[in-house]
Chains A and B, each alone.
Chain A
Amino acid sequence: MPDQDEPVWVDTTVNGVRHEEVVDARTTLADFLRGRLRLTGTHVGCEHGVCGACTVIVDGAAVRSCLMLAVQADGAVVETVEGLTDDPGDLTPLQDAFSRHHAVQCGFCTSGFLMSTTAALREGPVTDEAQARDVLSGNICRCTGYTGMVAALLEVGGTRDDH
């Protein structure tokens, strides 16, 4: 193992803003977003790809940011929960539905769920409960029991252009 960290350049666009940064090669994308860019809406739970709390959208695809190195996002377009709306006070229809259906309790997992479901809805409508649960299966919530999330997803899932 090298006795010093290796600095590497990362040139990446996050929520529409281009960032050119020098990071340690071993920095994960999750830690880069949180620690360097101070985008702390992305949460770090299990750090081995199981819980989904760190889910972000990279080049259009929902991915675990704990399982990508920051340097691998060089040249990529990254979206985090902070970028879902232009104005921090606004909510997307999905966020609004999460709120109304009590799909949020402690909130730790919420940003990961929002990024997974946002990506899924861009790919196509979600119209029945089995499909909704399939979409939600890649993220873990320990509070809500998922019922509210299923309801929120189904409420906005039939129309795909709002997201």
Chain B
Amino acid sequence: MKPGRFTYHAPRSVDEALAVLGQHAGDAKVLAGGQSLVPLLNFRVAEPGHLVDVNRLPGLSEPVRTATGWHVPALVRQRAVERSAALTGAFPLLGRALHEVAHPQIRNRGTLCGSLAHADAAAELPAVVTALDGRLRIASPRGERTVAAADFFVFHLTTALEDDELLLGVDLDDLPAGTTTSFHEFAGRRGDFALAAVAGQATRDTRGVVTRCRLVAAGVAGTPLRLRAAEDVLLGARLDDSALAAATRAAAREARPTGDVHASAGYRRDLVGTLTRRVLADIAAAVPTEELTHA
């Protein structure tokens, strides 16, 4: 229950961090908030020879306003996101989901980007960032590249990040006018990983017809699962009872969870339907800003 030996690096620049990662690719792990990695080190599930502590990298601790939305750099703590009126105002489901992520003591250290890089299939934030069409900025000795969240998550604990790459941050675009978001999860205990979670957003025109929709489930596949059949049901429809019922059925059908000691596959599938309905009910109940303007 103590970490194995490693060589500790505390680079002071991204270039320095990349140099260390490149030199020890495959035998180095990046330490950000440490709330997922350090348990793995303590259990010796992970025994990297080199630990690259990025907490002293400059300029990565504050969210940055961009031309199209917000950039959340690698060292922004989850607690800082949930306390940022600008971020939770722009993306209400982010604040809602963060309240379900572990506990304040964990969120005080844990970073938004660290949760993405760790990519636990039951984690809330990968699903939320997928539902927001987030783009991940990744640095390597070969330069910088951007990967869409939909392409970033490969499998449980597996991402598109190469061994010598560093996640610099995530870009989230402002939501179009008329958009409402929501997030619901079900967990055995407060702060646990979700048995299932659903993150969603929908954009409606002035007549209340859905023109754009994202529904993403967590905990029921190896990656965040886009509920495309449910989205298709909603596109071009109003969010009335029959549309919600049809989307709920479609969502439960397209989820193919596996069962484990915490919940059976069938129970999880039912949860996806129920949580989808709750997300859509929230969205249906909210009056999109554009409708207010045109009322």
Contact = CB atoms under 8 A, between A and B. Distances in A.
Interface stretch (B4-12, B13-21, B245-253): B4-12
Contacts of B103: 52, 137-138
B35 interface: yes
Given A1-B47, A48-B42, A68-B34, A28 B105 contact: no
B105 A4 contact: no
Contacts, number: 100
A138 B6 contact: no
B159 interface: no
For the complex, would chain B's binding face be called helix, strand, loop or mixed by DSSP majority? loop
B203 to A, nearest CB: 32
A154 interface: no
B104 A120 contact: yes
B106 interface: yes
Contacts of A6: 5-8
Q: How large is the interface on A (under 10, 10 to 19, 20 to 34, 35 or more residues)?
A: 20 to 34
Contacts of B34: 67-69, 72
Interface in A55-75: 55, 61-64, 66-69, 71-72
A3 B1 CA distance: 18
Interface in A64-119: 64, 66-69, 71-72, 116, 119
For the complex, would chain A's binding face be called helix, strand, loop or mixed by DSSP majority? mixed
Nearest to A56: B105
Given A2-B49, A49-B38, A137-B103, A67 B6 contact: no
B108 interface: yes
A128 interface: no
Contacts of B53: 69, 71-72
A112 B20 CA distance: 36
Contact of B39 (A52, A62, A67, A71): A67
B2 A26 contact: yes
B155 interface: no
Contact of A61 (B1, B31, B55, B79): B79
A5 interface: yes
B2 A134 contact: no
B191 A138 contact: yes
A117 to B, nearest CB: 11
Contact of B5 (A4, A8, A48, A134): A4
Nearest to A64: B105
B104 A62 contact: yes
Contacts of A72: 34, 53, 55
Contacts of A63: 105, 108-109
Interface of A: 1-6, 8, 24-26, 28, 31, 47-49, 52, 55, 61-64, 66-69, 71-72, 116, 119-120, 134-135, 137-138
Interface of B: 1-8, 10, 31, 34-35, 38-39, 41-43, 47, 49, 51, 53, 55, 79, 102-106, 108-109, 190-191
